[in-house]
Amino acid sequence: MNLALKDIQHNLGRFSLTAIGIGMLLMIVMGMGGIYRGIVEDATLLVDRVDADLWVVQRETRGPFAELSRVPPSLVHRVAAVPGVQSSREFVYHTIQRERDGQPLRMAILGLDWPIDRGEWLPLSAGRPIAQGHYEMVADQSLGLRLGDQIVLGKDSYTVVGITESMISASGDGIAAFSIDDAQAVQFDTPGEAIRLERAAREARGESFELTVRQPDVLENVWKPTAELPAVARPQISAVLVKLSPASSLADIKDIIAGWGDVSVFTQEGQRELLLRGTVDRARRQIGLFRVLLTVIAAIIMALILYTLTLDKIHSIALLKLIGASNAVILGMILQQALILGCVGYAIAYLAGHQVFPVFPRRVILATGDLIQLGIVVIAISIASSFLGIWKALKVSPNEALT
């Protein structure tokens, strides 16, 4: 006869409620570990999938994900001329927030170097990649857009031709992919009144400029769009992505590009480490602290519960000692109850988490290693929390059964 199971059957209601409470607490601990894994996955998603050996960014910056980076589009051709470079392409990345159907719509815009990069590498769950250079977009399902939807950004309307799954930025915003030109059109869109005021300001400055005094016809240019003015460069891009030839040396090519005075260069792993040590590091430490606190709280709660259950069994424990039961039998009963409580709570946390975590606003990734680690911690907590009840049971005198 198993005394632990018999006692649980006798106090089934209390044990069930206690197990559910412990399970909910462990579910939060489990969820926090999953949220951290999701943050890491989201932060490094583009770096891992974009398939670039080197990232060339603005000098003294840490890339387009950590801070603002601006390099000229002509840098693509300069990088392509380096021996050992197989290909180089433009990269644009920025975040916008608009309003759609009365709700805020925040998205991370990814500019693809169309037609070199059509977005075939994107994890499409429906639709197709971008097939033309303008007015098409591929959106993540978290943005709430569907195939065929049209969304107005700036002065143009864009049609959703593809839907991705789990393409989330480090800040938790869904990613929408456009061609480079469209991404820059959205980024540098200016209201019509601002354009009119700028042109008027140009004319006012031009009237006192020596060249326009001698050649009044030059003033006709001030009312042209900025992109049509002479000697005005194309809008700058965020970075240049470099793919190396199989036989080339990564270190040698990196040293060559790093020697240029206007850019910084990072490997794929270097860019990944910058993200993890920058945007993710503080969240990792905060989540880790909460996990430790909740684990300690769970241990304290389990210890108090087992102590209370032991107090309720003082007369029974004394009676067992009176009839000759050894301390090992009594201690085994308390330890078994603690282990059963921890295992049942862990099972409840695991099952409830699989139902609740998918509706969280951020991705929750339950890694097998984390689940095993938490299971070991739960067993350790169960054993440690039983010590308070065991200590009380050892102090019980057999004479208390006669009172």
DSSP labels for 306-336?
Answer: HHHHHHHTHHHHHHHHHTT--HHHHHHHHHH
Residues 185 and 317 in one domain: no
Is 168 inside a domain boundary?
A: yes
For residue 361, whether the previous peptide bond is cis, meaning omega lies within 30 degrees of 0, is no
Query: Do residue 297 and residue 371 come from a single domain?
Result: yes
Residue 179 CA, chain-centre distance (Å), reads 24
Confirm whether 78 is domain-assigned: yes
| Residues 299, 236 share a domain | no
Q: 185 and 313 share a domain?
A: no
Name the domain boundary from 240, 267, 294.
Answer: 267
Domain tally, the chain? 2
Q: Is the pLDDT of residue 401 over 60?
A: no
Q: Are 69 and 97 in contact (CB under 8 A)?
A: no
Look at residues 267, 291, 315 and tell me which one is the last residue of a structural domain. 267
Query: Do both 303 and 370 map to the same domain?
Result: yes
Q: Do 57 and 34 have their domain in common?
A: no
Same structural domain, 102 and 210: yes
The pLDDT of residue 323: 66
Q: What is the pLDDT of residue 348?
A: 92
Flag whether pLDDT at 403 surpasses 70.
no
* Rounded CA separation 309/305 (Å): 6
Q: Within this chain, do residues 64 and 14 fall inside the same structural domain, yes or no?
A: no
DSSP 223: G
pLDDT of residue 1: 45
Indicate if 327 and 194 belong to the same structural domain. Answer: no
Residues 256 and 184 in one domain: yes
Determine the pLDDT at residue 274: 81
Q: Is residue 276 part of a domain?
A: no
Q: Of 85-89, 119-123, 189-193, where does mean pLDDT reach its minimum?
A: 189-193
Query: Over the stretch 278-291, which tens digit does the pLDDT of each residue have?
Result: 667 777 788 878 87
Q: Assess if residue 153 is contained within a domain.
A: yes
Same domain, 165 and 309: no
Q: What does the pLDDT average to over 28-51?
A: 83
Q: What is the DSSP string of 275-314?
A: HHHTTTHHHHHHHHHHHHHHHHHHHHHHHHHHHHHHHHTH
Domain boundary among 198, 232, 267: 267
Is residue 164, in this structure, part of any structural domain at all? yes
> Are 125 and 136 contacting, i.e. CB atoms less than 8 angstroms apart?
no
Kindly state whether residue 273 falls inside one of the protein's structural domains: no
Q: In which domain, by residue range, is 321 found? A: 3-43+281-402
For the stretch 255-301, pLDDT in tens is 999 888 888 999 888 888 887 776 677 777 888 788 788 878 877 87
Same domain, 38 and 55: no
